[in-house]
Structure formats: C-alpha cells, structure tokens
Amino acid sequence: MSIIKTSPDLVPAETWLAEVSEEWKESAVAIQAITNSQGEMFKEKLSEDNAWNWFQHILLTDVPHQINWLEKVILKGVPIDKPWTALDTGHQVTIFDLIETVEGGIRPETRFIFSKIRTIYEILFMRKDVQEALDIIGDLEENRNWLQLNMILSTYIEGPMLEAKPLMHYLVLMGRYDMVRGLLTSAQALNTEFKSSTYLQGWINMTDEEGSTVLHITAKQRRESWAKWFVGNSADPMIRDVYNKTPFHYAPCKKYLELFWDKIDEKESKELLNELLIQGLEDGPTLRWVLEKGANPNTKGAFKTASKKVGMISILVRFGGDPTLITPSEDWDADVIREWLQCGGSGGMRYAEYCVKYLAGIKTGKWICFLISLHNGFIREATAWWLACDETDRENFHQVVKSIEASTSYMSNYQKWLEKVTNIPIE
C-alpha cells in the first residue's frame, strides 16, 4: 500500500475504467447509471457486496454527482484504500496514489477530499502531529462542507493491518484520542446541523468486519475514561460482534459492568447476566454484583466456570446456587474442592475420599463423618455425628444448605435429609 507520493506518468481514467470493467459483469449497467445520473437504479443496485465495484466506476467517471454518489458508497462500509493493480508496473496502489496519477475522471472536489483523507491517514499511521488533521476537519465544519466532513467521519480503511475498519476504530486502536475528540466534535456538529436523532448514535456505533464497535475496543483495552466518554456519547453496550459478545463480555469486572449497565434495557439484561456467569467474571465482587442484578446462579455452566477460581462457588451458593450441579474433576484446585465440600457440595463416587483428603486437619473427624453419613442418606448416623459437632458449624451449614434453590433431585433429597437431622431435639 503506497502513501509515499512519486511523480509517475499520468494514466487516462478511461484506461483504468476499461480495466476495472472487465472484473465486474454489471459494469455496463453501472456506467449507464452513473453517466445518466440514474439515482434510483444506483440505489437499487448498490450493495455491500458490490460497493467496491461501484466505488471504482464512480471514481473514474467525471460526472457532477460523483462525490455525492461516492459518499453513499462509502456509507456501505467499503474500505477506500483497497489496492488497485497499477497498469504499468503491476504494483499495488491505492486511491491515495490515483488522485495524483489518473488523468481526467476524478473531479477536483473528489481529489481534494481524498487528499485530506490521505493526510489524516499519514498522520495516523506515521504518528505525525495531530494538528493538521484537526485543522482539516475544523475547516470543513467551519465552511459547512457537511458532505465532505461526513465522508471523513464515515470512511472505512484497511490500513497496514489489512483489516477493514472505520477510521475511528483505527484512531482508538492506536490510542490517537486527540484525533478522536476532533471527530466526535464534528459528528456532534453534523448531528445538530441536520437535527438528527440518530446520526451520532449511528456513527459512534459503526462496526468493523467482526462486528466490533469502539466500545468493544475500549472494553478490551480497559480504558475506563474513554469507555465512559463513548457511553456518554451514545455508544451502545449491547451491540454484539460476530462472536456474539458485547462490550460487557470483554470487560467482565464490576466498574465496567456498572458503567455499561445504565444504558441497557432491563428486558435484555437477564440473558446477558447469565452469559457472563458462564463466561466468567474477574473477581468475587463482580460475581456478587452480577447475581444482585438478577443472574441465575444455577445457569448451566455457571458452576463449572466458578470452579476455576477460589471463592466463586461459595458466592453462587450464597445466592441460591446448587453445588450438586457439579462434582470435582482432576483439574480442580484443592482449595476449590474444600470450598465445594463446605458449602453443600455433595454427590459423586469419590465424595467420601474428597472429604477425608481435603478436610482432614481443617475440620474435625466428627464433622467429616457427619458429611459422609448425610451424603449417603444415613439419617441415624448423620444425626449422631451432627449432635457431636460444634454448634456454630452446625448453624452455618444449616443456613447455607437451606438457602440453596435445589436444581437436582439429589439436592432436594439432601435438604430433606438435613432437615430430618436438624429437627431431632438436642438433649
């Protein structure tokens, strides 16, 4: 991709047009629509799939409506810096080369705006001083050149990464927030000028090929101040990318979830919260926050995820989660197994083994015998051991198990067994 200007021989636009026409079977229809200003046909035929073909044909055809139609093509998300194959050398060139090397076809106002986009492009990727870029968009705004300004704001580029993204996304990815401020100010001006209730929202929520928005990017980057800034300017935290993830999924910690939460519809929230339980949250306070907001602790997969971090299973249980939805596996940390055993976890062929191996030295032998007896439904034996155990341990365990919303038949029986044990008078 060339952005270094040289002085090659000029190539007539007609020569270029003949070349690109061979690559598109709808070329003749497009040329007819362009030259005869058949706007309705253009709107009917233009799609995301053929936007690049239209871009090439419009760019090379000298018609008064050239820049207006190019704006409509750009709004389809076509990256303007896609490579062309130079006719003389076979090298790859871009629009930024063509505006200086094509004779005819490209109108002065079109060359002008793409030269300005090229300047911004160079400032972005060559990390030059931002002031010239700010002056460009500032002058367009001051002179009320709204169409040209919108072309800059809405431009998609591939850049050196060869990934089609809105210009705004590359600014955020590369941390050029000085330029982001300038673009947002211009977007707000456009929104005001056209008294639009949707322009700013549509612009700030532009997506790339993976369906990501700037809020997805800042969530991944963990830039809290900028996430706040985007949310405050109509960024939507519920937009899902091609992986079915929202910004919530990329920043699953309390301060970001709280930041995004006020912007969503409650009708959508429960499904999202349950998804976060399955995906996993960064720490205990975040897990508690999600559960307080209404996540279901017995969501399928929640306990499996919780088993990867110490302290998470007990939080699920405190909110009614049923620990018998899962039994320990070989990859569980020893502290997680202890946690599971002490908050009502039971069941499985190795339960007695786990009790002895992981609770010995931590709990009394009487308590271990009680758990094993209760696990097997041996009420008489469990009762005897229960009465021999510490009263505080008994009270805490009873409250924990009572609070569980049974999701397995085993837990339903387990709770009944415990009630039988605890209802026997203590002499």
Q: What's the Cα-to-Cα distance from 319 to each of 85, 303, 314, 344, rounded to whole Å? A: 62, 12, 9, 13
Q: Is residue 143 part of a domain?
A: no
Task: Confirm if 66 and 92 have CB atoms less than 8 A apart.
Answer: no
d(CA 273, CA 293): 8
Q: What is the DSSP letter of 79?
A: B
3-state secondary structure (DSSP) of residue 308:
coil
Instruction: Tell me what pLDDT residue 267 has.
Output: 63
Q: Is residue 49 part of a domain?
A: no
Instruction: Tell me what pLDDT residue 8 has.
Output: 59
Q: Of 240, 249, 307, nearest to 274 (Cα)?
A: 249
- What's the full length of the chain, in residues? 427
User: What does pTM read for this prediction?
Assistant: 0.85
Q: Is residue 351 part of a domain?
A: yes
Tokens of 360: 């010995």
- List the chain pLDDT tens, one digit each, 427 residues: 455 545 557 899 999 999 999 989 999 999 999 999 999 999 999 999 999 999 999 999 999 999 999 999 999 999 999 999 877 777 889 999 999 999 999 999 999 999 999 999 999 998 889 999 999 999 999 999 999 999 999 999 998 888 999 999 999 999 888 899 899 999 999 988 888 878 888 999 999 999 999 999 999 999 999 999 999 988 999 999 999 999 999 999 999 999 999 888 776 788 999 999 999 999 999 999 999 999 999 999 999 999 999 999 999 999 999 999 999 998 999 999 999 999 999 998 999 999 999 999 999 999 999 999 999 999 999 999 999 999 999 999 999 999 999 999 999 999 999 999 998 654 4
Q: Of 121, 113, 116, nearest to 157 (Cα)?
A: 121
Instruction: Tell me what pLDDT residue 424 has.
Output: 61
Q: Of 355, 416, 421, 340, nearest to 388 (Cα)?
A: 421
d(CA 250, CA 213): 12
Q: Is residue 59 part of a domain?
A: no
Number of domains in the chain: 1
Task: Confirm if 381 and 361 have CB atoms less than 8 A apart.
Answer: no
Q: Is residue 72 part of a domain?
A: no
Instruction: Tell me what pLDDT residue 9 has.
Output: 76
DSSP class per residue in 322-381: -GGG----TTS-HHHHHHHHHTT---STTHHHHHHHHHBTTB-HHHHHHHHHHHTT-HHH
The range of the structural domain enclosing residue 370 comes to: 322-427
Q: Is residue 161 part of a domain?
A: no
Q: Is residue 354 part of a domain?
A: yes
Q: Is residue 93 part of a domain?
A: no
Instruction: Tell me what pLDDT residue 127 has.
Output: 86
Task: Confirm if 404 and 320 have CB atoms less than 8 A apart.
Answer: yes
Instruction: Tell me what pLDDT residue 241 has.
Output: 97
Tokens of 207: 């997506």
Backbone angles phi, psi at 79, to 5 degrees: -75, 125
d(CA 207, CA 237): 13
d(CA 216, CA 212): 6
